[in-house]
Structure 1
Amino acid sequence: MREFKDHLSEYLRRVQAGEELVVTSHGKPVARLAPPHASEADPEAQVLARLRSQPWIRAGKGGKPLGPEHPIMWPSGEKPLSRIILDDRE
């Protein structure tokens, strides 16, 4: 473990080059360092691709939602909807 800490940069360069390393402590393996497989490189992209392949899911276009074209106007002088809901919960 001490040698691993002292030469961490060197070991990471070796792993980046494609080598797989086993870290030991008192002769017993405690960790394995390996370069990521192509499928593990971007798990978020994998999940998004899987979701986009589902027919019932539509991917967003990004940005803020614009809201409805014709919003319903609340009559002036009336209790706000939030107050009506809070009163109903009591």
Structure 2
Amino acid sequence: MDRVGVRELRQNLSVYLRRVRRGEKLEVTERGRPVAVLQPIVAADRLARLEARGIRVRRGAGNLADLPPPASVRLDRPLSDVLDESREDRI
């Protein structure tokens, strides 16, 4: 793993980010001491973190047949009238 100082990193950030995008890891140093590691984010890791936080639901995580049937709704007027009324709000 290559090392890069904070000043050098700041002055040539796009160069180092390009290297990281290609898969390299870089150790960032401040006054000669390691303070951080720059490494590429693996898409699978990012998705796993989002799933763990409940932000994303994995595809194929369930079966549509397991869902309860939709509740039936009784209307006192034809559905076409309800739809026409809701569309009037957009005009």
TM-score (norm 2): 0.51
1:40 equivalent among 45, 50, 54: 45
Q: CA deviation at 1:69?
A: 2.3
Report sequence identity in percent: 35
Distance 1:50 1:32 in 2: 32
Runs of 4+ residues deviating >3 angstroms: 43-47
Greater strand content? 2
Judging changes above 3 Å, is the alpha-carbon distance between structure 1 residues 19 and 70 closer, same or farther for their aligned structure 2 residues? same
Q: CA deviation at 1:27?
A: 0.8
Note the aligned Cα RMSD (angstroms).
Answer: 3.3
Distance 1:38 1:27 in 2: 31
Distance 1:20 1:30 in 2: 14
1:21-72 deviation per Cα after TM superposition (whole angstroms, max 9, x unaligned):
0100011111101112242243436751289249xx85xxxxxxxx962269
Q: Give the partner amino acid of 1:13.
A: R
Structure 1 unaligned spans of 5+: 59-66, 73-90
Distance 1:27 1:18 in 2: 24
Distance 2:12 2:58 in 1: 38
Considering Cα pairs closer than 8 Å and 6+ residues apart, tell me whether 1 or 2 has the greater RCO.
Answer: 2
Structure 2 unaligned spans of 5+: 1-5, 77-91
Asked if 1:30 corresponds to 2:35, the answer is yes
Which has more radius of gyration? Answer: 1
Partner of 1:16: 21
